[in-house]
Structure 1
């Protein structure tokens, strides 16, 4: 097995929204804001090469939305999925599976693209199966009013219409062991219903793709919960469970949204689970 970081493009989000009720005087220590109160956000995806399978976890925003839409998110940098795949010797047509942690637009927008004449949409990875789970799919296709703006039909429905959509099994508890993708999955409901956190056995390590359970290293303290989370009190419990597992078992936490920290480990302290070490993806994936 080989792992590759796939940078799909950076953007900015309001720091207050990213940290909910936590005062700016606290969160700006780790996530400094610009003059408009915006903080740097990455959309760092992960490619797994395992035998004949090339599994891409999440796909970022994509590029099919309007200039007005992207204007809300202050895109920055030159990263793209195509350029990042090419850097590692791959093309999007090589991808066999696209695994979506959840269906918010900044995690799955790159899964679907315009067709050639811009009359409709088609899968951006024509040879891939698209993976979600049945409960999250229902949550996303029949959205509540809180999340309706994050679940865009053009990002989601073409997966099913193409015949390329598949669902993982659902766990009896929180953890699905040995999923159809070959890795374990931790399910979390605080951010959105049935978000999936992959746990990948890589050499002698466990790589956890943190998605929105832990957006950045600055979100490690339990009360540092995004304003976007639909059930913040549940997020508190899920973070506590997961971060204790991570500290106990020395998980390597792959941070999808942290523009400045790629992979971290955590440790137990008197104040709870806190940052231990930081790594680049090169540190971990090339050793």
Structure 2
């Protein structure tokens, strides 16, 4: 098995929304904001090459939304999904599976694109199985008012209509099971219902793709919870369990949304679990 970090594109989000009740004077130390209070955000995917399978974890924002839509997110930098795949010698048609941590637009928007005459939508990966879980699919396709703007119909229903949508079995939150894709899954519910965090063993290290449970290095302290989370007190509980387990079992956290840090380790301190060391993928595995 070989892993590749795939940078699909960077954007910006409001720092206050990203850190909830934490004051800007504190969160700006790790995540400095621009003049509009926006902080740098990545849309980092993970590519898993395992025998005949090429599995992509999340697919970024995509490019089918309107200029007005993207103007809210201030995309920056030169990264694209296709460019990052090409760097490693792959094409999107090589992908066999797209595993979706959850179905917010910045995680699954790249799964669907316009058709040739722009009259409708089609899968952006012609040979894949799209993987979510049934509980989260129901949550996303029958959205609450708080999350409705993040669950876009044009991202979701074309997956089902294509016949390429598949469901992974559910389990209790924080329990790790062997999924049909052959790796462990942490189910967490604070950010959105039944978000899935994949866990893999790679080169004698345990890696967890932490998605929106811990978006950036700056979100490691326990109360640093996003304003976007639907159940922030549950996120606190889930983070507490996860962070302590991560220290005990020496996890390497792989960040989806940290534009400046790809991976880190953690340590236990008098103030709770804190950052230990950060790493780039290349320095850790090459």
TM-score category, normalised to shorter length: over 0.9
Q: What does residue 199 of structure 1 align with?
A: 199
Encode CA deviations 1:170-194: one digit per residue, 9 max, x unaligned.
Answer: 1145324211111000000000000
Aligned mates of 2:67, 2:60 — CA distance in 1: 16
Unpaired segments of 5 or more residues in structure 1? Answer: none
Where do 1:96-107 residues align within 5 Å? 96-107=96-107
**RMSD of the TM alignment (CA)?**
0.7
How many residues align structurally?
A: 286
Q: What does residue 266 of structure 1 align with?
A: 266
Q: What does residue 149 of structure 2 align with?
A: 149
1:251 aligns with 2:251: yes
1:83 aligns with 2:83: yes
- Measure how far apart 1:34 and its partner are: 0.4
Aligned mates of 1:155, 1:4 — CA distance in 2: 25
- Measure how far apart 1:53 and its partner are: 0.5
SS at match of 2:178: coil
Q: What does residue 166 of structure 1 align with?
A: 166
- Measure how far apart 1:282 and its partner are: 0.7
Q: What does residue 35 of structure 2 align with?
A: 35
Q: What does residue 212 of structure 2 align with?
A: 212
Aligned mates of 1:73, 1:245 — CA distance in 2: 34
SS at match of 1:18: helix
> TM-score, normalised on structure 2?
0.99
Runs of 4+ in 1 over 4 A off after TM superposition: none
SS at match of 2:282: helix
SS at match of 1:69: helix
Distance 1:54 1:261, change over 3 A: same
Aligned mates of 2:153, 2:285 — CA distance in 1: 35
Q: What does residue 236 of structure 2 align with?
A: 236
Aligned mates of 1:42, 1:108 — CA distance in 2: 14
Distance 1:260 1:171, change over 3 A: same
Unpaired segments of 5 or more residues in structure 2? Answer: none
Distance 1:173 1:229, change over 3 A: closer
- Measure how far apart 1:144 and its partner are: 0.2
SS at match of 2:3: strand
SS at match of 1:278: strand
**Residue 55 of structure 1 contacts residue 98 of structure 1 at CA under 8 Å; is this kept in 2?**
yes
